Amino acid sequence: MTIETHIIGDGCSAMMLASRADELESHNLTLLKPDNAPAPKDHMLGFWNTPGLKFAESVARASWSSWSIITETGEYKMSSKRYAYHAMHKNKFLESCLVKADMNNVKIISEKEAEQIRPELTFDSRPPRASRNAMLQHFLGQEIEVDRPIFDDSTAILMDFRVDQSHGMHFIYLLPFSPTKALVESTLFSTKVLEEEFYIDSINQYLSSHYGACIKKIAHQEKGVIPMGKLSPHDPKIPGLGANSGAIRPASGYAFVFMHQQIHRAIKRTKKGKSLRFNRPHKAVDVWMDGVLLTVLRHWPNQGPILFARMAERLTGDEFISFMSGKATWGLRMKVIMAMPKLPFIRGASKFIFSRPQKVMS
């Protein structure tokens, strides 16, 4: 018996599932594209090529076996011989998924067309809703070419905190594609999105102060806002998929690898004769630790550079990847906890435990 299954939305999680529809043997999959959906905007997605991500690795633009975190006190470099950090264009990934979806006979229809069909199962992949005054990860990035060779294209810079910290935890994310070309993003963790000029000025000042370089050409600009912490379903009456079913890592905004984990586990369930559903891919203890971290960053953002530097200093590259990808052991969690500044985290844990839940934005 084939189950007619609809997915509302055609973003990353929906298309990732559609590309694997041939593994859902008892489901006939259809994607419903909402009439009011915004036009897709390209931006860079980053991930480590941990097991199961070969499909994404094949469309990646570049990769780095070394990456670093930089503060005013020094640079902390990590590396991995097993897994490299990859960057790919979201639109290229979606295009590759669409080719596989077509091969799998997945249909993409409009809301009006969907009114004529009564699916047996429906999942909602539209973005979840954040609470009022939620912590946000907001950024503006530019793919640039500078006036002289300055970038070390063997190492990705995940966080460089040598920028203005007066508006929240602020860092530069820099992916060097060559000695003269890179994606440079100004990223903040705070409750308030700033004017576009702030991010652009931060990028220009950073390049001038730390590289003595000027932008020669801007090939592409991207920006975004990722809600962090506890999120609510887009529509509580419809079960979710992807970010709308808890795939976003609460304290980092990292979601791509967790969408894959969520979908992979759901497919494995159906192969065992169980019903299709998409569960939150994070362990409860990791969600709790993320909640404490976000509380610290909300109330004491100046601790951000310290705690990320300590984590980079104490962990190996493979341990860092495991922690970021939700594969931490209890031993690794304790190693992270012991690396953290104790007083801010004790205060953060206390505030987090006794905090009141915020109202959800409509």
pLDDT of residue 362: 46
122 contacts 34 by C-beta, under 8 angstroms: no
Let me know if residue 359 belongs to a domain: no
User: What's the mean pLDDT in 128-135?
Assistant: 86
Give yes or no: residues 217 and 234 share one domain: no
Residue 264 clears pLDDT 90, i.e. is over it: yes
150-199 confidence digits (pLDDT tens):
999 999 999 999 999 999 999 999 999 999 999 999 999 999 999 999 99
Residue 361 clears pLDDT 70, i.e. is over it: no
pLDDT of residue 360: 47
* Structural domain range at position 84: 3-61+78-130+228-271
Please state, rounded to an integer, the average pLDDT across all residues of the chain: 92
**d(Cα 307, Cα 336) in Å, to the nearest integer?**
9
User: What's the mean pLDDT in 3-17?
Assistant: 94
Give yes or no: residues 125 and 236 share one domain: yes
Give yes or no: residues 126 and 162 share one domain: no
Higher pLDDT, 204 or 35: 204
37-47 confidence digits (pLDDT tens):
777 788 999 99
Residue 359 clears pLDDT 60, i.e. is over it: no
pLDDT-above-90 percentage for the chain: 75
> Which pTM value belongs to this model?
0.91
Residue 313 clears pLDDT 50, i.e. is over it: yes
Reduced to 3 states (helix: H, G, I; strand: E, B; else coil), residue 182 is: strand
CATH of the domain at 140: 3.30.9.10
Residue 215 clears pLDDT 50, i.e. is over it: yes
Give yes or no: residues 144 and 125 share one domain: no
The model's confidence at residue 358, banded by pLDDT at 50, 70 and 90, is low
Q: Kindly state the DSSP code that residue 126 receives in the 8-state scheme.
A: S
Give yes or no: residues 91 and 169 share one domain: no
Let me know if residue 67 belongs to a domain: no
CATH of the domain at 262: 3.50.50.60
Let me know if residue 113 belongs to a domain: yes
Residue 146 clears pLDDT 90, i.e. is over it: yes
Give yes or no: residues 117 and 237 share one domain: yes
pLDDT of residue 124: 96
Q: Kindly state the DSSP code that residue 127 receives in the 8-state scheme.
A: P
**d(Cα 115, Cα 198) in Å, to the nearest integer?**
45
Let me know if residue 290 belongs to a domain: yes
Give yes or no: residues 156 and 206 share one domain: yes
The structural domain count of the chain equals: 3
Give yes or no: residues 205 and 291 share one domain: no
User: What's the mean pLDDT in 332-336?
Assistant: 93
Beta strands per DSSP E along the chain? 3-8, 27-33, 44-48, 62-64, 66-71, 74-79, 85-89, 107-110, 121-124, 129-130, 136-146, 155-160, 169-176, 181-190, 215-227, 231-232
Give yes or no: residues 188 and 317 share one domain: no
pLDDT of residue 86: 97
Give yes or no: residues 108 and 235 share one domain: yes
Let me know if residue 362 belongs to a domain: no
**d(Cα 223, Cα 107) in Å, to the nearest integer?**
30
Let me know if residue 83 belongs to a domain: yes
Let me know if residue 222 belongs to a domain: yes
Give yes or no: residues 222 and 234 share one domain: no
User: What's the mean pLDDT in 315-333?
Assistant: 94
Residue 83 clears pLDDT 80, i.e. is over it: yes
pLDDT of residue 76: 96
Let me know if residue 109 belongs to a domain: yes
Give yes or no: residues 168 and 211 share one domain: yes
